[in-house]
Amino acid sequence: MPTFAQPAAAPPGATAGRRVPTRRNTELALLLFGFVVTALLSAAAQAALINTVRVDCLVLPVLVLMLGLVAHVVIRIFAPYADPVLLPLATLINGVGVVFIHRVDVPTETDSDYHKFASIGATDGLGIQQVMWTGLAVIFCCALIIVIRDHRTLARYAYTFGLAGIVLVAIPAVLPGSMSEVNGAKVWIRLPFFAIQPGELAKLALFVFFAYYLVRKREVLSLASKRVLGIALPRPRDLGPVIVVWIMSVLILVFEKDLGSSLLFLGTFVVMLYIATERKSWLVIGFVLFAFGAFAAYSLGTWLGPFRNFHDRVDIWLNPMSDPLNTTYQLSRSLISLGVGGLFGAGPGAGDPTSVPLARSDFIIATIGEELGMFGLAAILLLYLLITLRGVKAGTVVRDPFGKLLAGGLAFSMSIQVFVIVGGVTDLIPLTGLTTPFLSYGGSSLVANWILIGLLIRISNDARRPSPAGTAGGPSGPPPQLQSAATEVIKL
Amino acid sequence: MPSIVLAVARFGFLALLWIFVFAVAGVVRRDLWTGSRSNRLVAAPRGVPAAGPPQPAPARPRRGQSPRILVVTEGALAGTTITLTDRPITMGRAEDSTVVLTDDYASTRHARLVARNGEWFLEDVGSTNGTYLDRAKVTGPTPVPLGVPIRIGRTALELRP
């Protein structure tokens, strides 16, 4: 009978001395590359706008680069094994957004104040404001990376996060309209000196809670009762959580008139449920619930007040050119802008973005589409896709289930948010007021999305870090076990 | 500003943006070979990269016939493969197992596979529900031939060349 001795210790240097590359220099190189891209965009826009290129076109790109470098240094120290592409991707999208916001600030030839051209400096207008918001957001992101050394500590406060998320989501609904309503959506808290969109932060808190809850319950939720059409359905009594989230999303839709957030919460929850249980039936159930909710809201909207806003939006979506001077003004302008952009766009600075309403926030995708064309817009969308890809990758590699679910959920929420707003602007789905991550003008959105990137960086650091046994330097074999010791004794 | 410069800037920017996308994709691609430690819920042995360069193994008998990978054929992890090194492979629900089983019928530390002169031996390490090699319950270290299922709860694993 063969016996087991412990296998000979690994040859020295084979594993213990093996260095896992941190890829921090790759990150730095990509950051600088992103800066070159942003700087060229800024210079090209200025050349087209005022017929000359001044040094001050570099001010905004350099400021964004400096913020990216600050985050880079923090990552080098506190999360050295983090994914090298997340930070450059976020910084580039943010930089492109800043340049475009500044570009919209500059009046075009058709404006009466055309002559103020030369006097528009780099630090005038909303572009520099956006840089300040970015600075605040990067500070939050760095603080998160420094304070939270292990993402699993978040699971300890999961119920607190869940409660905070629900409260944050609910606040605008109960506030009077004068303090919470902007352009028809009640998603703000407006204070005398500043306004925030609590939903942006609530989504992060809720996703942390979802991840924790689903890790605890996934075994129960993956039990199947019977198969229908080849899909194993869950037991009816396990439908509770998804119904609760569905009701929450319908309440958001009704009381805050915010279809985007409603879709974001439900969609992300359903996808996390799917990741946790590996049962496709949850995707089907989620889709059916949402389709039913949306159809019911649309039907009720014809005669019931709270659903009217949604009903109108669906009508606009179905007939975007029916009333271009009044109700469908926004969407028709957006579609015309995208059409004018065509395949390669009018060129940075050569379009007419002021013809689109809300060209800096909700419709910044139309602005970019007009000037960069489908070619440029597709590249921007690919940048988002790469962020999602890396987030999911971090989720598949990290060892703990909570980290897996959180990374998967956060990464997917970025995708669904981009889908909802880009789909709205391009008339693929009814238009809703979600912000475009990193591009739209606004502090709440930037802070929330940079925190999201910080979380992904933290989780990816854990995923890619060599395990402690490998870095301890000693023999990294498994701990001796009683079984093999026993066989050794018998052998002797 | 001559229009040729504007055109160069316009298309140059688009080209540069796409080059950035491809640069990131290149980093991601290189990362596939260096950064990946594991596949789905299965982790590589601590300190040993799963897809690392093949370590110079001692001469194995019957080269080409010796097992190189461990494949999960049934259960929640079906489809997962693990590249074999000289290291023992532990199986169980414990987070530090080589194969972290998500199987209700598996014990925290269920079984392990150990290589000896190019042959792999299966050993039960005190599981509750037992380890089976095909139909036979494993009581002591048992050599595992290629393609014979190792059954742990609802999970089945096989050695393959």
Residue pLDDT, tens place only, A70-119: 999 999 999 999 999 999 999 999 999 999 988 887 765 555 555 555 55
Confidence check: pLDDT of B50 > 80: no
Round to whole Å and give the CA distance between A170 and A184. 16
Contacts of B140 in chain A (CB under 8 A): 1
Q: How far is Cα of residue A316 from the mean position of the Cα atoms in its chain?
A: 27
B1, B5, B13: best to mutate for the A interface, most A CBs within 10 A: B13
Amino acid identity at A206: L
The 10 Å Cβ neighbour count of residue A237 is 8
Round to whole Å and give the CA distance between A78 and A396. 22
pLDDT band for position B47 (cuts 50, 70, 90): very low
pLDDT at A171: 82
Least confident of A4-13, A100-109, A256-265: A4-13
**In this predicted model, what pLDDT tens digit does every residue of A197-209 receive, in sequence order?**
888 888 899 899 8
Round to whole Å and give the CA distance between A56 and A94. 19
Contact A467 B12 (CB under 8 A): no
Amino acid identity at A154: L
3 state DSSP class of A52? coil
Chain A and chain B share a number of CB contacts under 8 A equal to 153
Which of A10, A33, A478 is opposite residue B23, by nearest beta carbon?
A33
Contact A478 B88 (CB under 8 A): yes
**Half-sphere exposure for A428 (CA within 13 Å, toward CB):** 8
pTM of the model: 0.75
Contact B86 A7 (CB under 8 A): yes
Contacts of A383 in chain B (CB under 8 A): 21, 24
Contacts of A7 in chain B (CB under 8 A): 86-88, 114-115
Confidence check: pLDDT of A374 > 90: yes
* pLDDT average, residue stretch A280-303: 83
CA angle A284, B73, A231 (to 5 degrees): 15
Q: Any CB–CB contact under 8 A between A327 and chain B?
A: no
Q: What percent of chain B has pLDDT over 90?
A: 9
Contacts of B28 in chain A (CB under 8 A): 85, 386, 389-390, 393
Contact A347 B9 (CB under 8 A): yes
Contacts of A376 in chain B (CB under 8 A): 13-14, 17
Look at A311 and A394; give whichever has higher pLDDT: A394
Least confident of A246-250, B6-10, B18-22, B35-39: B35-39
Q: Which helix (H) or strand (E) holds A365?
A: helix A364-397
Q: Which chain A residue has its CA at the smallest distance from B35's CA?
A: A464
Confidence check: pLDDT of A309 > 80: no
Q: Which chain A residue has its CA at the smallest distance from B38's CA?
A: A397
pLDDT at A230: 61
Q: Which chain A residue has its CA at the smallest distance from B140's CA?
A: A1
Asked if residue B50 lies in contact with residue B56, where contact means CB atoms within 8 angstroms, the answer is no
Contacts of B95 in chain A (CB under 8 A): 399-400
**In this predicted model, what pLDDT tens digit does every residue of B85-126 receive, in sequence order?**
778 888 888 877 888 888 888 888 888 888 887 788 888 888
Contact B14 A18 (CB under 8 A): no
Q: Scan for tokens 């096989």, then name that residue.
A: B158
Asked if residue B86 lies in contact with residue B117, where contact means CB atoms within 8 angstroms, the answer is no
Q: Which chain A residue has its CA at the smallest distance from B23's CA?
A: A30
B5, B19, B27: best to mutate for the A interface, most A CBs within 10 A: B27
How far away is chain A from the Cα of B32, in angstroms, using its nearest Cα?
10
Contacts of B87 in chain A (CB under 8 A): 7, 10, 477-478
Contact B13 A373 (CB under 8 A): no
Q: What is the DSSP-derived secondary structure letter of residue A305?
A: G
Confidence check: pLDDT of A251 > 60: yes
3 state DSSP class of A449? helix
pLDDT at A468: 59
Look at A135 and B43; give whichever has higher pLDDT: A135
Q: What percent of chain A has pLDDT over 70?
A: 81
Contacts of B23 in chain A (CB under 8 A): 30, 33
Contacts of A278 in chain B (CB under 8 A): 76
Contact B47 A16 (CB under 8 A): yes
Which of B24, B35, B140 is opposite residue A464, by nearest beta carbon?
B35
Contact A43 B9 (CB under 8 A): yes
pLDDT band for position A477 (cuts 50, 70, 90): very low
Asked if residue A120 lies in contact with residue A106, where contact means CB atoms within 8 angstroms, the answer is yes
ipTM surpassing 0.85, yes or no?
no
Asked if residue A321 lies in contact with residue A332, where contact means CB atoms within 8 angstroms, the answer is yes
pLDDT band for position A488 (cuts 50, 70, 90): very low
